[in-house]
Amino acid sequence: MATMVELTTQHEVETGTSADLVAQLRRSIVSRRARVGVIGLGYVGLPLGVAFARAGFEVLGFDVDGGRVATINGGASHIPDVPSPTIHAAVDDGFLRATVDMGQLTDVDVINICVPTPLSKTRDPDITYVVAATEEVARSLRRGQLVILESTTYPGTTREVILPRLEATGLRAGEDFFLAFSPERVDPGNTQYGITNTPKVVGGIDKRSTELAALLYRQAIETVVPVSSPEAAEMVKLLENTFRSVNIAMANETALMCDRLHLDVWEVIGAAATKPFGFMPFYPGPGIGGHCIPLDPFYLSWKMKTLNYRARFIELAGEINAEMPHHVVGKVVDGLNEFERSVKGADILVLGVAYKPDIDDSRESPALDIIELLRRRGARVSYSDPHIPAIELLGAALTSEPLTAERLSAADCVVIVTNHRAFDYNLVARHSRLMIDTRNTLRDVPTTNGAVVVKL
């Protein structure tokens, strides 16, 4: 039976003014009575939902994957950064539940959209998932709800794509419902910075939306940074990842230049990093991977093309970073030549297919490009990765092989692509004849007589 407070609250939502709606939502957020909905329970949505649940909010997660929903409701996690005991506790305490029923969006007070935003084959933004999620929200939208987009996208998406679809219901943003953008800043595998201690940027469609979204996040996150608009918040995320992409490209090009100058790029960067001002070290590698750095800058590049402006740094950085897998394959070819061995028919073992150390995510991993390029040259390529038991590549399924002395000894070449801590690099150095070290992992590891280590 509903209490008098609940009946009064519902009456305020149905008949109150905009000021009443703001006041009611503010009270609900501060008292933790607001129900939080999260659409998309992947690497972004699940940690966010758990953070709100741990802060005392009732969280309802939405996902189209029934298996994922069942896993969460069973008290288990499919995300390494969110331990299963944490999910189990939140579910048992009644603070977290997942569903595939989008109709239940009408039952929540806050809706966070955390769906993927990939690129098309032509590097154009694909906001299909954002549009689909927005249409589901519109079907259930009611007065007094706060809607927040967290998916990375180009500046203008919140105002130009989401706002019109929600206002087509007849409700008005800033008066009947509230709308904001807050970019996700999830860094899988980062043990120092997680969802609660990474500052949260928030930009609303109007002042009320900004204030309400900021108030919500302050209940679960230590620092909240309001900005003037959703466009500013959207641009913040793209700047962050463009900064990394461009600087990694600079480090990669430095590696290519040092290679031609017969210099050790790691020595050069290490010495430069001793300068206490005016220099921030970035390091080269076999390419870039993950969902953010290879993709996000091109959202900005695409947007600028619509304004007749060419984002030259973004495009050049993309070209340099995309060439690094070819550079690694060239190192493999040259190394095999030193042993009078052709790459065609060579037995090559790739260490690590995750896009970064100690995670189980292979999205956009340069290892996949390296494997594909080597196989096209006729090499027999296998891989070892303790975090990723199987991958699908060119229509063929590959499974991870155990890293043993026998397997290393049998390989004509070992390519270290992802420097997982779980790898025994002393074992690698003792039993491999030829090692292509793209991460400078073997810098302090002794090798056996006759073994060759080729750096990036």
Residue type, 408: L
- Euclidean distance between CA atoms 353 and 367, whole angstroms: 5
Instruction: Return phi, psi of residue 340, to 5°.
Output: 55, 45
pLDDT tens digits along 200-214: 999 999 999 999 999
Residue range 160-186: mean pLDDT, rounded: 97
pLDDT over 80 (residue 407): yes
Element (H, E) at 171: none
Residue type, 205: I
pLDDT tens digits along 263-306: 999 999 999 999 999 999 999 999 999 888 999 999 999 999 99
CATH number of the domain located at residue range(s) 314-455 in this protein: 3.40.50.720
Q: Does the annotation mark 292 as catalytic?
A: yes
pLDDT over 90 (residue 37): yes
- Euclidean distance between CA atoms 289 and 437, whole angstroms: 17
DSSP bridge pairs for 112 = 38, 148
Q: Which of 114, 258, 292, 413 is catalytic?
A: 292
Q: Residues 154, 234: contact at Cβ < 8 Å?
A: yes
- Is residue 317 helix, strand or coil? helix
pTM, to two decimals? 0.91
pLDDT over 80 (residue 394): no
- Euclidean distance between CA atoms 403 and 421, whole angstroms: 13
pLDDT of residue 4: 38
Q: Do the first three CATH levels of 4-237 and 314-455 match, i.e. the same topology?
A: yes
- For the chain, give every domain's residue range: 4-237, 314-455
The owner of tokens 């037995």 is 347
Write the class of the CATH domain 4-237.
alpha beta
pLDDT tens digits along 315-356: 999 999 999 999 999 999 999 999 999 999 999 999 999 999
